[in-house]
Structure 1
Amino acid sequence: MSHQWVTASDGVRLSVTIDGRSDGPTVVLVHGYPDNSSMWAGVAAGLTAKHRVVTYDVRGAGRSDKPSGRASYRLDQLADDLRAVVEAVQPAGQVHLVAHDWGSIQTWHAITGEGLRGRVASYTSLSGPSLDHAGAWFRAQLRRPTPKRLKNALNQFLHSWYILAFQVPVIPDLLWRTGLLGKQIQRMEPDAAPPEKSDGLHGLQLYRANMFTRLSRPAPRPADVPVQVLAPTGDAYVTTPLQTEVTRWVSDLRIRRIVGTHWVTRSKPQVVAAAAAELIEYAETGVESRALRRARVDAGPFEHRLVVVTGASSGIGRATALAFAEQGADVIVADTSGAAETLKLLEEHGVAEYTVDSSDGEAVRRFAERVRAEHGVPDIVVDDAGRHGEGAFVLMLAERAEGGQVVTLASAAVLREILRAAEKGLTP
């Protein structure tokens, strides 16, 4: 690990840390508010084996300088800071960007501007939309109102109460200085930084310098790089529609809903790191994982889903496998005596077939582990054999944190097993 200082265009010094493989693709992680770069510790750990990982404290946070005045925190300046960091750590070629919260807001501004034109290979965004996109989104909800759009707009407005509160002079500043606001945030969001690691005071200027200016006068800002949005389903500040309804501005877009809260970067860093690594791999090599193909906004509801069907050698199991294949899913089939004939019928959508005794719970669990090792975590499991072992798949789906479905045609005994798994918090 190495450290360096990068001087921004207005003289502000930014604290930059570089870790990981010196010959790997360069990934720059941009934190949000009220965090500093330490927020990325878990995600960075998941990337350093194959990537050159760069983190930096944005102005006003961590070890970086903390200028006073709103003008120092305008989006144009923040985007220029990111450009300065990129040029310092990667003088030539392209970098990959991963950003969260206000880090995402400023990164959207950077990749849709001119400062980093041609320098960004991919962008993974969490919990932070472009303010221009957000302003246009709000206008669309109100100009062409439907019950759903009005509900989305109202829901986001209620989630954004703190933006108005931060415009009030003196009081928010005092609450940060005394530590009361940091403690309150952690009480509401256990995954947020502890008060002693929060950098909320100077970052208040982010809201005061940018929010109403950008939201009230949004400009069209298209992105011309591969983008994936990781949208935490339980985000208390940025709703899923605001994060994900950006198709009109992004030509190469993927949407992945992550089961988690606003600070999923802390609670599930391995999930964030794995998703970012998949987009980086695609941008570097052109090899697109099934998860990325599934997340394309133009993909059908079952297209590129990985589906496991047991009891698939005949009858309902075979018909189910064929129905999924017709919808573009990739299907794994299994039965007590194998399902080779069904696999042939699936043609290009047949992934593999297995022989597994569904009455043997341990055998089914080994089967589930083998599926994960050889093909990845399935999106849908249809257990037509319906006896044992669904819990293994449920656990995998919960760990992946991108949802999924388990459908069981079974006796009451199997239902009890599934309910026991649900009681342990394993329901996808």
Structure 2
Amino acid sequence: MTSFADFTHHRVPVADGVELSAAVGGDPDGSPVVLLHGFPQTRLMWRHVARDLAADHTVICPDLRGYGASDKPAEAPDGLTYAKRTMAADVVALARALGHERFALAGHDRGALVAIRAGLDHPDAVTHLASLDVLPTLDMWEVMRGTSAAVGFHLYLMAQPPGLPERMIAADPDGFFGHFLDLWTRDRDAIPADVRAAYLAACRDAVPSIVADYRASAFADVEHDTADRRAGNVLRMPVTVLQQDWGAALGFDAAALWRAWAPDLVHRTVSCGHFMAEESPETVTAALRELLRR
């Protein structure tokens, strides 16, 4: 299934000539929930969860700036084009354009980093926040040490100055992006062939913007997280985190790291792979519904 049945598709201006593409559906009288996809995916990753939540919520599934059918502006020299602060502002502008001043926000992987930044920068807009299988950016870099950092080789590759990583990835984009779809999936049936093809096609057309997104996480995003940590800024809304138990494997306490950012925290480990919204959508949906009741 490579589309959202019964959802309408919108292109919404959000900032500086940038438009986001979003699928919107569900109960128009239900509270709004925005779902942000991860790497190397598009909003399509939410197809199962969105359909369930749509029974009693307005559900908004955008492609992030630089991904899928959304605009892909060229990376500016200041490195802020794909900073999570910029991408979070996109999401808030999108929700407001669709008539929602306040909304719940859930993100997976890269989308979770955008969601975290939205919660820190726009606490009056984000009522609830869910993060799937990431650490906040500053903590991620701090725990990646020694040989254990080999699992995150792509983080270091895409942090390099413009030019080299783009050329290397563009030489075999299907091989590069497909590597992660294979490596991070435990249940291969969770991403069927047509969905996998859609992800690869979207990534093939977005190499420079995807690299710019990751490059921002090594520089601008670290600066923004560091400033928040020094200022004591935290996520003031209820937060749910679902993660694989890779904290134990790499020797750190993921829940403790998260608790420093989110005082009102529910942290759970899951037994499925990284792409949990596709491998175990019922687990993700149940966690989101529980979060929305808090």
Return the TM-score normalized by structure 1.
0.56
Q: Look up the match of 1:203.
A: 210
Once residues 71 and 119 of structure 1 are traced to their aligned partners in structure 2, the CA distance between those partners, rounded to angstroms, is: 22
**Per-residue deviation, 1:64:** 0.8
Spell out the pairing of 1:14-163 with structure 2 (5 A cutoff). 14-69=20-75, 70-92=79-101, 94-113=102-121, 116-134=122-140, 138=142, 153-154=145-146, 157-163=149-155
Judged with a 3 Å threshold, the aligned counterparts in structure 2 of structure 1 residues 240 and 272 are, in CA distance, closer, same or farther, namely farther
Of residues 167, 184, 187, the one that matches 2:182 is: 187
Once residues 251 and 166 of structure 2 are traced to their aligned partners in structure 1, the CA distance between those partners, rounded to angstroms, is: 24
Once residues 206 and 272 of structure 1 are traced to their aligned partners in structure 2, the CA distance between those partners, rounded to angstroms, is: 25
Judged with a 3 Å threshold, the aligned counterparts in structure 2 of structure 1 residues 67 and 277 are, in CA distance, closer, same or farther, namely same
**Per-residue deviation, 1:196:** 3.9
CA contact 1:95–1:121 (8 Å) conserved in 2: yes
- In the alignment, structure 1 segments of 5+ residues that lack a partner are 142-151, 283-428
Judged with a 3 Å threshold, the aligned counterparts in structure 2 of structure 1 residues 112 and 171 are, in CA distance, closer, same or farther, namely closer
Larger CA deviation: 58-67 vs 159-168: 159-168
User: What code does the residue aligned with 2:14 have?
Assistant: A
User: What code does the residue aligned with 1:106 have?
Assistant: V
Q: Look up the match of 2:159.
A: 167
Query: Over the residues paired in the alignment, what is the CA RMSD in angstroms?
Result: 2.8
Once residues 68 and 181 of structure 1 are traced to their aligned partners in structure 2, the CA distance between those partners, rounded to angstroms, is: 21
Once residues 117 and 61 of structure 2 are traced to their aligned partners in structure 1, the CA distance between those partners, rounded to angstroms, is: 18
Q: Which has the higher contact order (CA 8 A, sep 6+)?
A: 2
**Per-residue deviation, 1:86:** 1.8
Of residues 4, 12, 22, the one that matches 1:6 is: 12
Of residues 270, 283, 294, the one that matches 2:282 is: 270
User: What code does the residue aligned with 1:12 have?
Assistant: V
**Per-residue deviation, 1:188:** 2.1
Give the match's secondary structure for 1:98: strand
Task: Determine what percentage of the aligned residue pairs are the same residue.
Answer: 25
Give the match's secondary structure for 1:250: coil
Q: Look up the match of 1:325.
A: none
**Per-residue deviation, 1:259:** 0.9
Deviation digits for residues 52-80 of structure 1 (CA, Å, limit 9, x no counterpart): 11100111111111111144212221111
CA contact 2:237–2:264 (8 Å) conserved in 1: yes
CA contact 1:128–1:243 (8 Å) conserved in 2: no
Spell out the pairing of 1:364-403 with structure 2 (5 A cutoff). none
- In the alignment, structure 2 segments of 5+ residues that lack a partner are 1-6
Judged with a 3 Å threshold, the aligned counterparts in structure 2 of structure 1 residues 239 and 17 are, in CA distance, closer, same or farther, namely farther
Give the match's secondary structure for 1:107: helix
CA contact 2:40–2:181 (8 Å) conserved in 1: no
Once residues 245 and 19 of structure 2 are traced to their aligned partners in structure 1, the CA distance between those partners, rounded to angstroms, is: 36
Judged with a 3 Å threshold, the aligned counterparts in structure 2 of structure 1 residues 240 and 32 are, in CA distance, closer, same or farther, namely farther
**Per-residue deviation, 1:239:** 8.5
Judged with a 3 Å threshold, the aligned counterparts in structure 2 of structure 1 residues 4 and 195 are, in CA distance, closer, same or farther, namely closer
**Per-residue deviation, 1:91:** 3.5
Larger CA deviation: 58-67 vs 183-192: 183-192
Give the match's secondary structure for 1:76: helix
Of residues 228, 240, 247, the one that matches 2:259 is: 247
Deviation digits for residues 389-416 of structure 1 (CA, Å, limit 9, x no counterpart): xxxxxxxxxxxxxxxxxxxxxxxxxxxx
**Per-residue deviation, 1:23:** 1.1
**Per-residue deviation, 1:155:** 7.0
Once residues 48 and 147 of structure 2 are traced to their aligned partners in structure 1, the CA distance between those partners, rounded to angstroms, is: 31
> How many residues are treated as equivalent by the alignment?
265
Deviation digits for residues 138-172 of structure 1 (CA, Å, limit 9, x no counterpart): 2xx7xxxxxxxxxx855753332221122343345
Once residues 243 and 166 of structure 1 are traced to their aligned partners in structure 2, the CA distance between those partners, rounded to angstroms, is: 27
